[in-house]
Structure 1
Amino acid sequence: MNQIDTGLVKRLIGEQFPEWAHLEVKPVKFSGHDNRTFHLGDKMSVRLPSDAAYAPQVEKENKWLPILSKELSLPISTPIAKGNPSEAYPWPWSINKWIEGETVTKQNVRDLSKFAAHLGSFLVELQSIDASKGPIAGAHNFYRGGLISVYDEEARDAIENNKDVFDETVLKHLWDLALQSTWRRKPVWIHGDVAPGNLLVKDGKLCAVIDFGILGVGDPACDAAMSWTFFDKSSRKIFKEVLQIDEETWNRARGWVLWKALITYDANKISNKIVAEESYRVIQVIVNDYGR
């Protein structure tokens, strides 16, 4: 496969959408792991899966995002056209409407508590949409919304590998709490990757939610991850209140964050100190929050 760069995107646009071949193609400032994203002119973006594992997301987004967008008060990613696999690139890809805004940071959010309430309200809206025909959580979205127990071995291995760094007893207890319950209500829509990189702000306020690649229906616990990765004590409390999360769901939400932080720390503690330090910070936030 050719390298995913501006040259490849220009070729694909020229071959499949010649009416847009005159538009400038350039990489976006922040591109995710699952997809490589490029500007197409001023009003569109091109998203190409970076691996076969992410290719099914294209069809899913094209099918469901136009439906969900009608029920949500904030703009979300909007597919315009779907590109087909070709000699140059082996998977489907998409052209989407470009949404103006800055990627969320602690510095560009005007009021963290109001931001937490706004994000919580958006997720409540998403969860209220009829999910009866939606894609059940599974391999297509890495089990977000499904049973966290699929990652039990990974989590326990990471705890064992780093018991000289973290309090093994506390982490095992928190992980066990996450496994002790399941979602017993009807499946609801989940974004699957509610993280700063997928949230946009304008004038310090949440203005859009993007990248629904691991969208699915199931247990909403995973969508509360920013409680520990981004929010402070007071905004975390507001986020939890707006979401109306019960303690069992809160335990599972914390488990999702703990699992991801543990395996990320374990994989990067030698090779990527910056990534490892952020994962270490998140684990400390989790432990300190639980101990309060």
Structure 2
Amino acid sequence: MHRDQIAMDAAQVAGLVSAQFPRWAGLPVRRLWSKGTVNAVFRIGDELAARFPLRPGDPQETADGFAREAEAARKLAEHTRFRVPQSLALGEPGLGYPLPWAVQTWLDGPTGSEADPSGSAGFAEDLVELVRDLRGIGTGGRAFTGSGRGGNLPDHDDWMEKCFAESGDILDVPSWRRRWEHWRELPRTAPDTMNHGDLIPGNVLVSPEGRLTGVIDVGGFGPADPALDLISAWSLLDAQTRPILREGLDCDDLTWERGRAWAFEQAMGLGWYYATTNPGMSRLGLRMLDRLAETSDL
């Protein structure tokens, strides 16, 4: 998926597990081929999963990221009924792999990419509960930092220009550029709340009845624009269930419109970037854009 992607295979992972965590030596290891874009995921036996960052980075920053994710998982487990994988161990570089890696509990069940919950009113109600649970944790006085989604919309202008330039063959770029010119100017009035930060199909688990049962990839959990987790309105819900989320979270017009803006910022980066390397993610981005177009008259 990435030009600088680090190659990994099951034999290499089995060797790392055996060398660093003898209690799990001998358990079968197999790679899971998912739509995820940040980590390669390997199943270890029936109850564990190992995650390996796909792209090179600073080892200490990688370790710090896994530590933040472990703390977020513990906190979420205390404040929501929805299942969250728990961190069990942090592995070290070795056998040609240059970064720290993590072992966590495995949660059974299909993701939203495998079992589409978009038409389930029950799932939308569960999503309301999850977002309320996250916001209820409180920021502890912290505020958004960094350059990712969740801060200041105009800070993403350069990235959006890159996306517009790369999307001419698949999108009506002028019409989307007009929308961005509107969305980027929306004022920020509400204080930060705690957000998952990436509520997309691959990061939620779904029951056979179409209900939300778990949430994964919680490393981005932190303070941000309250509109950030509204991305889920267009990534996870359809036109019939979307109003359940808006009404359940009591969103005013400005907050809802900023949710559209963050959804657009994410979707625009998926369609072209993953067109050939991760078609599932590319389709997600284009589907989000279709849903955004249904609810915008700009």
Q: Could you say whether these structures have the same fold, taking a TM-score greater than 0.5 normalized by the shorter chain as the test?
A: yes
Match of 1:201 among 203, 206, 227: 206
Q: Is the Cα–Cα contact under 8 Å of residues 137 and 216 in structure 1 kept in the other structure?
A: no
Q: CA deviation at 1:21?
A: 0.5
Q: Is the Cα–Cα contact under 8 Å of residues 196 and 220 in structure 2 kept in the other structure?
A: yes
1:23 aligns with 2:33: no
**SS of aligned partner of 1:217:** strand
Q: CA deviation at 1:69?
A: 1.4
1:225 aligns with 2:231: yes
Task: State how far apart, in whole Å, the 2-side matches of 1:123 and 1:83 are.
Answer: 31
Q: Is the Cα–Cα contact under 8 Å of residues 177 and 252 in structure 1 kept in the other structure?
A: no
Task: State how far apart, in whole Å, the 1-side matches of 2:50 and 2:173 are.
Answer: 44
1:114 aligns with 2:118: no
Q: Which segment drifts farther, 176-185 or 65-74?
A: 176-185
In structure 2, list runs of 5 or more residues that go unmatched.
none
Match of 1:263 in 2: 269
Match of 2:50 in 1: 46
Amino acid aligned to 2:196: H
1:192 aligns with 2:197: yes
Residues 111/268 of structure 1: CA separation in 2 closer, same or farther (3 Å cut): closer
Match of 1:12 in 2: 16
Q: Is the Cα–Cα contact under 8 Å of residues 147 and 182 in structure 1 kept in the other structure?
A: no
Task: State how far apart, in whole Å, the 1-side matches of 2:272 and 2:178 are.
Answer: 19
Amino acid aligned to 1:59: A
Q: What's the Cα RMSD here? A: 2.9
Q: CA deviation at 1:198?
A: 0.7
Task: State how far apart, in whole Å, the 2-side matches of 1:261 and 1:73 are.
Answer: 29
What TM-score does the superposition give when structure 1 sets the normalisation length? Answer: 0.85
1:104 aligns with 2:109: no
Task: State how far apart, in whole Å, the 1-side matches of 2:33 and 2:207 are.
Answer: 16
1:215 aligns with 2:191: no
1:132 aligns with 2:137: no
Q: CA deviation at 1:125?
A: 0.5
Match of 1:84 among 92, 104, 107: 92
Q: Which segment drifts farther, 268-277 or 171-180?
A: 268-277
1:94 aligns with 2:102: yes
Q: CA deviation at 1:102?
A: 0.8
Task: State how far apart, in whole Å, the 1-side matches of 2:279 and 2:32 are.
Answer: 25
Residues 133/117 of structure 1: CA separation in 2 closer, same or farther (3 Å cut): same
Amino acid aligned to 2:112: V
**SS of aligned partner of 2:36:** coil
In structure 1, list runs of 5 or more residues that go unmatched.
none
Match of 1:36 in 2: 40
Residues 15/201 of structure 1: CA separation in 2 closer, same or farther (3 Å cut): same
Amino acid aligned to 1:98: W
Q: Which segment drifts farther, 19-28 or 268-277?
A: 268-277
Match of 1:59 in 2: 67
Match of 1:253 in 2: 259
Amino acid aligned to 1:250: W
Amino acid aligned to 1:42: D
Q: CA deviation at 1:259?
A: 2.3
Residues 247/96 of structure 1: CA separation in 2 closer, same or farther (3 Å cut): same
Q: CA deviation at 1:211?
A: 0.7
Match of 2:293 among 264, 287, 290: 287
Q: CA deviation at 1:31?
A: 5.5
Amino acid aligned to 1:215: F
**Which protein has the bigger helix share?**
1
Q: Is the Cα–Cα contact under 8 Å of residues 200 and 207 in structure 1 kept in the other structure?
A: yes
Match of 1:239 among 234, 242, 245: 245
CA deviations over 1:199-220 (Å, ceiling 9, x no partner): 1112222110001132221113
**SS of aligned partner of 1:203:** coil
Task: State how far apart, in whole Å, the 2-side matches of 1:69 and 1:31 are.
Answer: 25
**SS of aligned partner of 1:208:** strand
